[in-house]
Amino acid sequence: MNHKTLVISLLISAVMLSISGTAMSDDDYERGGFLNRWFGDSKPGVAPVENPYYLEECGSCHFAYQPGLLPARSWSKLMAGLDDHFGENAELPAEDAKILEDYLVGNSADKSNHKRSKKIMKRMPSTDTPLRITETRYFIKKHDELSRNMVQGNPQVESISRCDSCHKQAAKGSFEEDEIEIPGFGRWEDD
Amino acid sequence: MNRKLILVTALILAMPLSLQAGAISDLQANYQAKGAGPFSAVAGEKLWSKSFTDAKSGKMRNCTTCHTADLTKLGKHVRTGKVIEPMAVSVNAKRFTEVKKIKKWFVRNCKWTFGRECTAQEKGDFLAFFSSL
């Protein structure tokens, strides 16, 4: 083919590829179309927890929520009220609480370059200081197709706070749609 | 050679038990220094089954709600569903080996269940109860 045809076909290919990147589902956006992965600097999902002390302390009663799921101001507020931690007493000696707070605040959503952390922050008004990940706008939007019998009425799930009940790779910071398996319902099929 | 091997093995196997005995006896000595004691497993068991009313919610709280009445069995956190390893020293070698951990859970769970910190006497009785199982 001649020079002109080559340039035009290369241009068309580049346009098609970038369109296909943005036309993908919302979920794939968090993973990133391949152009984003090649040229973007955002990492997928949420940064996994690698702090063993945090895992031990904050994962002893519930899923060890990644710091990248809430902004620093939320974590600080939460750590200041451990004696009434959603109705439970989770008190710690001050020096231990400080270690955990430093970890949370240092790796919070507003400091992270992971895709979901960025999305969480983008949809959160700066005047909001949510204590519950499940009450963030991003979370609510993402879970708005669930029915009660899949979660609250499901004896194998019971609460929407139990991420790892359905998100099988949650502990790795991955919440991709194709990793979801709702106990008693099976894999998530998006219509 | 054989006897030495048996002796060494026995000593190694006894270690987790001695760690537990260590942490529990350290704490009990601490409580005694504050004027508490002697400690009774029976008193500990009584307190374990006692119900307390939470001032804020008006609901009854009891150790057995999460830990169950049979401490050789697994328990379950009533809100998060998290499995709780048995409290009984006889079935769970990891229980009560760290003073810091014991102290932490006494603060949290006494405050939550009883609405106040446990006294040195109560804590000593609880530890006597746990180590009797």
Task: Say yes or no to pLDDT of B88 above 70.
Answer: yes
Report pLDDT for A141: 97
Give the residue from A177, A176, A181 showing the smallest Cα distance to A190.
A177
Instruction: Please give the residue range of the domain that contains residue A186.
Output: 143-191
Task: In whole angstroms, give the CA distance from residue A34 to residue B28.
Answer: 62
Q: What is the CATH topology of the domain spanning B2-132?
A: Cytochrome Bc1 Complex; Chain D, domain 2 (1.10.760)
User: Which residues of A are less than 8 Å from B104 in CB distance?
Assistant: 91-93
Residues A94 and A171 placed together within one structural domain of the fold = no
User: Which residues of A are less than 8 Å from B80 in CB distance?
Assistant: 61-62, 159, 161-162
The verdict on residue A136 lying in a domain is no
Residues A112 and A57 placed together within one structural domain of the fold = yes
ipTM exceeds 0.85, yes or no: no
Task: Say yes or no to pLDDT of A22 above 70.
Answer: no
Report pLDDT for A5: 83
Residues A21 and A84 placed together within one structural domain of the fold = no
Residue type, B3: R
Residues A49 and A123 placed together within one structural domain of the fold = yes
Residues A98 and A121 placed together within one structural domain of the fold = yes
Task: Say yes or no to pLDDT of A23 above 60.
Answer: no
Report pLDDT for A20: 58
Q: How many domains does chain A have?
A: 3
Residues A25 and A54 placed together within one structural domain of the fold = no
Residues A55 and A35 placed together within one structural domain of the fold = no
Helix A72-79 and helix A94-106: axis angle, to 10°? 170
Residue type, B51: S
Q: List, as own/partner pairs, every contact residues B29-34 make where C-beta atoms lie below 8 angstroms and the sequence separation is at least 24, other chains included.
A: B30/B120, B31/B120, B31/B121, B31/B123, B31/B124, B32/B124, B34/B120
Q: Taking the domains of chain B in order of start, what are their residue ranges?
A: 2-132
pLDDT mean over A92-96 = 97
CB contact under 8 A, B80 and A162: yes
Task: In whole angstroms, give the CA distance from residue B45 to residue B67.
Answer: 13
In angstroms and rounded to an integer, the radius of gyration of the C-alpha atoms of chain B is 17
Residues A94 and A25 placed together within one structural domain of the fold = no
Report pLDDT for A10: 82
Residues A24 and A73 placed together within one structural domain of the fold = no
Least confident of A10-24, B21-35, B90-104: A10-24
The verdict on residue A166 lying in a domain is yes
Give, for A187, the enclosing helix (H) or strand (E): strand A186-187
The verdict on residue A138 lying in a domain is no
Report pLDDT for A189: 82
Interface residue B59 vs chain A (CB under 8 A): no
Report pLDDT for A26: 46
Nearest residue, CB atoms, B108 vs list A91, A159, A162 = A91
CB contact under 8 A, B79 and A162: no
